[in-house]
């Protein structure tokens, strides 16, 4: 009954966290079916390798939907199946969108793969001739070169020379290459010039978010502990039992639904589970629903709301005054007008909270530091001190919500806000 940590709990925590950080483990169950993107991609690339013909594919999908992970799975499998006939060149649009850089990088990677000496002084011409020669050599040796272009839409800026030369090289019989582009822009192939688009083979694989059943299966796959001997006997079954109870709970399903309404990619689910698992109670060694609730609230933070919740009563008064001035169509107000409004409220409602000017100025400073209010930018007029116009940085609904969740907000303020 003491506060000691069960060693098995730490081990299970490490195991699960390790799984969540390994993309190939995460995407294996999603790639199991024959209709999945994994099998489509694998089919296209492996037929290109075995038949020795050129091909180009585009993988499209929002960020975090697993494009790079599935590609790594496919490439890993292919390197195992055809150990000598595949060589891989990776480029990234953020780093290599300039043609000079791109050609240099391709030449460097080719040199590394084939144990040749790379010279940094080579010019663009020499690099491109080298690449063409290497493509021809590899084509003769029946070795396929796979070009992976990450952030494909960044390559489509400017003159698109790299894309043109790569895709043009694939139009000849002598070379054997596959170009795989990854992009989060759905219209990535519309960004291509018409010459380049004509040479591109228009194969697109769309990465859509998985369905609910797949998500449930994924949860089970990630969170259930294996029944091997490194864990104590009863622990594994208790852990898995608890997981099953949690996932079939309707409250958990509500939490998941709130999460998916904002962001339904696999990556956001992984982050959510990671946070929940890290909050695991190490004394009992089991997960609970509260872990998941806390994880959700830490993921969907509203910083301005928290700022309002931490305000003092005087600061709340000042915020309400500013809001009322806004409602009265007074678009530019400064400290003086806010103080006037504050006085009118005090006079009409006889509130007990009335503070002197310098205390209010201090409160304004606090609000400005927390970025709840700020000075508006004025061109030309340089007013100083209390005449500078200010504005609110939070919306009315956020102010409302913050005040409602405030620990001791006076009721009169809420009434004033709704007025």
Partner 1 sequence: MPAIAGPSSSPQKHVVGSRLEVTGGLRSAEVNTCRKRKLRSDSAAEVSSSTPVNSISTPMKWKSPRRCAVSIPKTADEEIKEDSNGNLASPVISAVKNLSVCLDVESKWNPRDEEQMKAVKEALHVSKAPSTVVCREDEQRRVSEFVKSCMEQNKAGSLYICGCPGTGKSLSMEKVRQQADDWAKQAGLPCSETVSVNCTSLTKTTDIFSKILGKNESGSKANGSSSPLQQLQSLFSQKQQQSSSKMMLIIADEMDYLITRDRGVLHELFMLTTLPFSRCILIGVANAIDLADRFLPKLKSLNCKPLVVTFRAYSKEQILRILQERLVALPYVAFQSNALEICARKVSAASGDMRKALCVCRSALEILEIEARGSIDQEPQGPVPECQVVKMDHMLAALSKTFKSPVVDTIQSLPQHQQIIVCSAAKAFRGSKKDRTIAELNKLYLEICKSSTITPAGITEFTNMCTVLNDQGILKLSQARDEKLRRVSLRVDEADITFALKEIRFFRNCLL
Residues in the site for partner 1, rule: CB under 8 A?
34, 43-44, 47, 50-51, 53-54, 60, 62-63, 123-125, 128, 159, 161, 164-165, 168, 170-173, 184-188, 190, 194-195, 197-199, 201-204, 206, 208-209, 260-264, 300-305, 394-395, 397-398
Nearer to partner 1, 101 or 227 (CB): 101
Nearer to partner 1, 187 or 213 (CB): 187
Q: What is the DSSP letter of 188?
A: G
Nearer to partner 1, 172 or 245 (CB): 172
Nearer to partner 1, 9 or 199 (CB): 199
Q: Order the strands of the 203-206 sheet from edge to edge.
A: 86-92, 144-150, 177-183, 55-60, 203-206
Residue 236: CB minimum distance to partner 1, A: 34
Residue 194: CB minimum distance to partner 1, A: 6
Please spell the DSSP secondary structure of 15-75, one letter per residue. Answer: HHHHHHT-HHHHHTGGG-STTSHHHHHHHHHHHHHHHT--EEEEEE--TTSSHHHHHHHHH
Tokens of 223: 């969170």
Sign of the CA dihedral with 79 first, then 82, 84, and 85 last: negative
Q: Which residue has the tokens 């030449």?
A: 107
Nearer to partner 1, 353 or 398 (CB): 398
Q: What are residue 150's DSSP bridge partners? A: 92
SS3 of 314-374: the string is HHHHHHHHHHHHHHCCCCCEEHHHHHHHHHHHHHHHCCCCCCCHHHHHHHHHHHHHCCCEE
296-301 contacts, C-beta under 8 A, 24 or more apart: 296/255, 296/258, 296/259, 296/272, 299/259, 299/268, 299/271, 299/272, 299/275, 300/258, 300/259, 300/262
CA-CA distance, 30 to 387, in Å (whole number)? 61
Nearer to partner 1, 58 or 78 (CB): 58
Nearer to partner 1, 50 or 298 (CB): 50
Nearer to partner 1, 41 or 363 (CB): 41
Residue 59: CB minimum distance to partner 1, A: 11
Q: Which residue has the tokens 């043609």?
A: 99
Q: Which residue has the tokens 């000017």?
A: 357
CA-CA distance, 151 to 185, in Å (whole number)? 9
Residue 304: CB minimum distance to partner 1, A: 7
CA-CA distance, 112 to 123, in Å (whole number)? 18
Residue 85: CB minimum distance to partner 1, A: 15
Residue 144, classed as helix, strand or coil, is: strand
Nearer to partner 1, 203 or 370 (CB): 203
Q: What's the N-to-C CA distance of the chain in angstroms?
A: 55
Residue 172: CB minimum distance to partner 1, A: 6
Residue 281: CB minimum distance to partner 1, A: 29
CA-CA distance, 419 to 406, in Å (whole number)? 19
Sign of the CA dihedral with 27 first, then 28, 33, and 37 last: positive
Residue 275: CB minimum distance to partner 1, A: 16
Residue 344: CB minimum distance to partner 1, A: 29
Residue 186: CB minimum distance to partner 1, A: 5
Q: Order the strands of the 333-334 sheet from edge to edge.
A: 333-334, 389-392, 373-375
Nearer to partner 1, 47 or 230 (CB): 47
């Amino acid at each position: 009954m003491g506060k000691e940590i069960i060693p098995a709990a730490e081990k299970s925590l490490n195991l699960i966290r390790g799984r969540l950080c390994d993309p190939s483990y995460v995407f294996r169950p999603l790639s199991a079916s024959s209709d999945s993107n994994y099998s489509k991609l694998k089919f296209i690339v492996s037929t290109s390798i075995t038949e020795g013909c050129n091909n180009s594919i585009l993988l499209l999908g929002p960020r975090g939907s697993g494009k790079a992970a599935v590609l790594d799975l496919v490439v890993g499998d292919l390197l195992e199946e055809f150990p000598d006939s595949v060589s891989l060149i990776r480029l990234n649009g953020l780093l290599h969108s300039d043609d000079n850089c791109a050609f240099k990088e391709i030449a460097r990677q080719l040199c590394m793969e084939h144990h040749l000496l790379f010279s940094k002084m080579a010019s663009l011409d020499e690099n491109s001739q080298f690449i063409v020669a290497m493509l021809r050599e590899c084509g003769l040796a029946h070795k396929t070169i796979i070009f992976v272009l990450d952030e494909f839409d960044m390559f489509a800026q400017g003159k698109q020379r790299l894309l043109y030369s790569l895709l043009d090289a694939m139009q000849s019989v002598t070379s054997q290459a596959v170009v795989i582009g990854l992009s989060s822009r759905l219209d990535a192939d519309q960004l291509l010039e018409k010459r380049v688009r004509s040479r591109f083979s228009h194969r697109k694989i769309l990465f859509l978010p998985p369905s609910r059943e797949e998500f449930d299966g994924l949860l089970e796959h990630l969170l259930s502990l294996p029944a091997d001997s490194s864990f104590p006997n009863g622990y594994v079954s208790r852990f898995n039992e608890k997981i099953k109870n949690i996932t079939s709970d309707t409250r958990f399903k509500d939490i998941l639904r709130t999460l998916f309404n904002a962001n339904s990619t696999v990556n956001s689910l992984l982050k959510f589970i990671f946070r929940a698992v890290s909050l695991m109670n190490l004394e009992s060694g089991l997960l609970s629903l509260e872990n998941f609730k806390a994880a959700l609230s830490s993921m969907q933070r509203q910083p301005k709301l928290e700022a309002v919740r931490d305000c003092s009563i005087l600061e709340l008064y000042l915020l309400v005054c500013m809001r009322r001035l806004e409602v009265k169509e007074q678009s530019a107000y400064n400290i003086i007008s806010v103080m006037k409004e504050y006085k009118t409220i005090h006079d009409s409602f006889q509130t007990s909270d009335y503070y002197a000017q310098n205390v209010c100025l201090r409160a304004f400073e606090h609000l400005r530091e927390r970025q709840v209010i700020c000075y508006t930018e004025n061109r030309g007029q340089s007013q100083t001190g209390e005449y500078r116009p200010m504005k609110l940085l939070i919306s009315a609904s956020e102010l409302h919500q913050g005040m409602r969740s405030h620990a001791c907000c006076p009721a009169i303020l809420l009434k004033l806000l709704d007025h």
